[in-house]
Amino acid sequence: MKKILVIHGPNLNLLGQRETDIYGGTTLEEINKQLAALAKKEGAELVLVQSNHEGEIVDVIGKAPKDGIAAILINPAAYTHTSVAIRDAVAAVKIPTVEVHLSNIYAREDFRHKSLIAPVAHGQISGFGVNSYLLGLQAAINLLK
């Protein structure tokens, strides 16, 4: 069974209660349940992490090869636009990575239009709400086939 690391970045623990006009009413727990159902159907194992701390995210990515992680699904949230450290960690581990966002970052404020992660990821899916995660997980699984 292939292990896929799912990383939820800062403030995603507040989903369902914060800016529901942008991020929807689905909670992180509900997203994780949907991801788990898809992973089970596809024969994959998920390792779920949510952190508001950049260094913790970097650490989790850095130890991913040792932990047997075959692919990474990441919503870096606000760190998308600011974290060279997360970008460098993704590049360093050379694990297939899919970046996802609930909202369309390119239809929002100008500062959100630049992803530091996208150039080192295999692809990016944004703007489809919870389906961004599900499409991203399916993409990560397909990369492993």
Question: How many other C-beta atoms can be found within 10 angstroms of the C-beta atom of residue 62?
Answer: 14
Query: How far, in whole angstroms, is CA 26 from its chain's centroid?
Result: 16
Q: Give residues with Cβ within 8 angstroms of 53, minimum separation 6.
A: 10
Q: Sheet of 123-126: strands edge to edge?
A: 44-50, 2-8, 69-75, 97-101, 123-126
Q: Which of 8, 23, 79, 133 is catalytic?
A: 23
| Residue 79 known to be catalytic | no
Respond yes or no: is residue 101 known to be catalytic. yes
Could you tell me how far CA 80 lies from the centroid of its own chain?
10
Q: Which of 8, 79, 101, 133 is catalytic?
A: 101
> What 3-state class would DSSP assign to 82?
coil
Write phi, then psi, for 3 (nearest 5 degrees): -95, 130
Q: What positions carry a catalytic annotation?
A: 23, 101
